[in-house]
């Protein structure tokens, strides 16, 4: 091991005068550092691309050498430092491993990354996404980066397919039917074509717009059927407008900027066995306000809605008679920053067999909140929130009452949450 010696500055003269050694304390050599600075997660097949790394060394006078290895095809140096290498990508899709080592002659560091080789999609519509051509790199041009499923048209996505959006503010617009057929072993992934840290869960939640399901043909509204899919880093993961509907099963909706799911129309929404977490603005938003017809039905069951930056489930609709069936059953609703469930205007959901804990700030103070004026113009005197677990085996209702806000807490709220009986353990 090479050793470094530090001069002692002003003390040096004293040591020289006494005839002592001029050498200072010994400092061990530190290994150099290397980071992968290539931004994209996947590249087109059969083209030349430049792969880049950044190298640094704590010991500034060391000469560094950089070596590369890649699983398919060859690399050509593009500069003398070998920090930029041209790679002719393979003609077939797949995952390639690149390994880069930097050495100062004695110590070294190594990084290993996966680069996907995929199929470039430049057309605005496609009927089938098959695993043989995956990943799909959706590059539609900055002017109108919208991937469209037109009315009366069905597009299917096979198990294991990745759809990578290559441009900021791109969007998947579904006016026909989009069927995502993932499996537990081979889920479908839809996200930006960027690797971490260029897109992260906290800071890039609106890198693309997400999946918007709308109505192009009123006789045949848009619909989404997603099983074992994962959608990440959009303004929304899924947004329903007009009369469009969605059935989302065993899927993960993460890292969205505004909400994982928003229904702002009169269609139906069913969410079953899903993970809805780490979304900056919130989990599920039912927001039609006073001007849009409320949803036909909403069912949120057997899911995990947690660690979202806003409200876990936000219900802001004008259903003064409480006639819209909204069922919130057997979910974990936890660690959402503002509220677990918030109700605005007027609605009468059924809230049973859920686990509530650590919602609000401080955690645990706002598991369910009915806002001032609720129910706006309606006659909803009670809401069924029985048979829920409230984070502990409570023997009395008093500590549970402390985690919700209803007519007991404010005369400006006219609705009482029915909490008894409750569960002493998570269902």
* Tens digit of each residue's pLDDT (9 = 90 or more) over 315-343: 999 999 999 999 999 999 999 999 999 99
Domain-located, residue 72 = yes
CB atoms within 10 A of CB 417: 25
Mark whether 273 and 213 lie in a shared domain: yes
**So what's the pLDDT on residue 291?**
74
Q: Decide: 90 and 117 in contact? Cβ < 8 Å.
A: yes
CA distances from 396 to 250, 363, 386, 399 (A): 35, 20, 14, 7
- 6, part of any domain: no
Domain holding 48: CATH number? 2.60.40.10
- Is 199 in the same domain as 223? yes
Q: What gap in Å lies between CA 30 and CA 401, rounded to an integer?
A: 58
**What is residue 238's predicted lDDT score, i.e. its pLDDT?**
98
Provide the pLDDT confidence category of residue 13 given band limits of 50, 70 and 90.
Answer: very low
Average pLDDT, the chain: 90
CATH of the domain at 345: 2.160.20
Averaged pLDDT for residues 142-164:
92
pLDDT value at position 14? Answer: 28
Out of 93, 115, 137, a domain closes at 115
Say if residue 410 is in the same domain as residue 396. Answer: yes
Residues 239 and 108 in one domain: no
d(CA 343, CA 269) in angstroms, rounded, equals: 17
- Other CB atoms closer than 10 Å to residue 6's CB: what's the count? 10
Number of domains, the chain: 2
Distance CA(254)–CA(201), nearest Å, equals 8
Q: How many of the other CB atoms lie within 10 Å of CB of 72?
A: 16
Residue 351 lies in a domain: yes
pLDDT at 344 over 90: yes
Pair (157, 245) in one structural domain: yes
* Residue 13 is assigned to a structural domain of this protein: no
Residue 10 maps to a domain = no
- At residue 204, the pLDDT reads 61
CB 46 within 8 A of CB 91: yes
The reply to whether 389 falls in a domain is yes
Q: For 69-89, what is each residue's pLDDT tens digit?
A: 999 999 999 999 999 999 999
Residues 299 and 273 in one domain: yes
Give residue-wise pLDDT tens across range 351-369: 999 999 999 988 888 999 9
* Nearest Cα to Cα of residue 278 among 299, 305, 251, 301: 305
With cut-offs at 50, 70 and 90, classify the pLDDT of residue 12: very low
For residue 222, name the pLDDT band (cuts at 50, 70, 90): very high
Mean pLDDT of 238-260: 96
- Give the per-residue pLDDT at 62: 76
Residue 238 half-sphere exposure toward CB, CA atoms < 13 A: 33
- Which of these three, 86, 115, 144, is where a domain ends? 115
pTM: 0.90
Q: Are 137 and 118 in contact (CB under 8 A)?
A: yes
d(CA 79, CA 277): 43
Q: Quick one: pLDDT at residue 5?
A: 30
Q: What is the pLDDT of residue 362?
A: 85
What is the mean predicted confidence (pLDDT) over 211-216? 94
pLDDT confidence tier of residue 60, bands split at 50, 70 and 90:
confident
Identify whether residues 46 and 195 lie together within a single domain: no
The pLDDT value recorded for residue 3 is: 35
Q: What pLDDT, on a 0 to 100 scale, did the predictor assign at position 216?
A: 85
Highest mean pLDDT of the ranges 6-15, 115-124, 352-361:
352-361
Q: State the DSSP H helix or E strand holding residue 157, giving kind and residue range, or none if neither.
A: strand 154-157
The pLDDT value given to residue 40: 94
Q: 51 CB contacts (<8 Å, ≥6 apart)? A: 38, 68, 75, 84, 85, 86, 87, 98, 115
65 lies in the same domain as 208: no
My answer on whether 246 and 302 are in the same domain is yes
pLDDT, residue 272, reads 98
Give the Cα separation of 7 and 3 in Å (integer): 13
Whether residue 18 lies inside any domain: the answer is no
pLDDT at residue 19 is higher than 70: no
Q: Could you read off the pLDDT of 269-324 as tens digits, one per residue?
A: 999 999 999 999 999 999 987 778 899 999 999 999 999 999 999 999 999 999 99
Query: Is residue 257 located within the same domain as residue 387?
Result: yes
Spatial CB neighbours of 18, under 8 Å, sequence gap ≥ 6? none
Question: What confidence category does residue 9 fall into, taking pLDDT thresholds of 50, 70 and 90?
Answer: very low
Residues 213 and 111 reside in one and the same domain:
no
Containing structural domain, residue 80: 29-115
Do residue 96 and residue 126 come from a single domain? no
Is the residue at 24 inside a domain? no
Q: What count of Cα atoms within 13 Å lies in the side-chain half-sphere of residue 344?
A: 14
**Which one of 115, 139, 164 terminates a domain?**
115
């Amino acid at each position: 091991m090479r050793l470094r010696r530090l001069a002692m500055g002003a003390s040096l003269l004293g040591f020289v005068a006494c005839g002592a050694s001029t050498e200072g304390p010994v400092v061990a050599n530190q290994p150099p550092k290397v980071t992968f600075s290539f931004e994209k997660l996947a590249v087109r097949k059969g083209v030349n691309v430049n792969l880049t790394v950044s190298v640094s060394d704590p010991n500034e006078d060391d000469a560094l050498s950089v070596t590369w290895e890649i699983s398919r095809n060859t690399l050509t140096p593009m500069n003398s430092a070998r920090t930029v290498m041209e790679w002719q990508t393979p003609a077939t899709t797949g995952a390639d491993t690149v390994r880069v080592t930097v050495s100062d002659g004695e110590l070294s560091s190594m990084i290993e990354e996966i680069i996907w080789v995929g199929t470039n999609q430049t057309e605005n519509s496609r009927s089938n996404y098959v695993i043989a051509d995956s990943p799909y790199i959706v590059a539609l041009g900055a002017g109108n980066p919208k991937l469209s499923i037109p009315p009366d048209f069905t597009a299917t996505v096979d198990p294991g397919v990745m759809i990578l959006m290559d441009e900021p503010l791109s969007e998947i617009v579904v006016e026909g039917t989009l069927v995502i057929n993932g499996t537990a072993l081979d889920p479908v992934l839809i996200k930006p074509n960027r690797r971490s840290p260029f897109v992260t869960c906290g800071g890039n939640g609106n890198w693309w717009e997400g999946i918007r399901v709308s109505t192009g043909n009123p006789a045949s509204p848009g619909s989404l059927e997603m099983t074992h899919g994962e959608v990440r880093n959009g303004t929304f993961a899924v947004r329903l407008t007009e009369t469009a509907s969605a059935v989302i099963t065993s899927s993960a909706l993460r890292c969205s900027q505004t909400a994982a799911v928003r229904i702002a129309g009169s269609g139906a929404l069913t969410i079953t066995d899903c993970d809805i977490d780490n979304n900056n603005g919130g989990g599920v938003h039912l927001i039609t306000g006073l001007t849009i017809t409320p949803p036909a039905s909403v069912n949120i069951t057997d899911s995990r809605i947690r660690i979202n930056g806003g409200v876990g489930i936000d219900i802001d609709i004008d259903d003064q008679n409480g006639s819209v069936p909204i069922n919130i059953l057997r979910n974990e609703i936890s660690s959402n920053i503002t509220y677990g469930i918030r109700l605005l205007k007027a609605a009468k959901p059924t809230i049973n067999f859920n686990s509530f804990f650590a919602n609000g700030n401080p955690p645990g103070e706002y598991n369910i909140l009915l806002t001032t004026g609720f129910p706006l113009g309606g006659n909803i005197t009670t809401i069924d929130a029985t048979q829920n677990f409230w984070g502990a085996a409570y023997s009395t209702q008093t500590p549970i009452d402390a985690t919700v806000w209803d007519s007991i807490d404010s005369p400006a709220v006219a609705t009482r949450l029915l909490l008894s009986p409750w569960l002493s353990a998570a269902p």
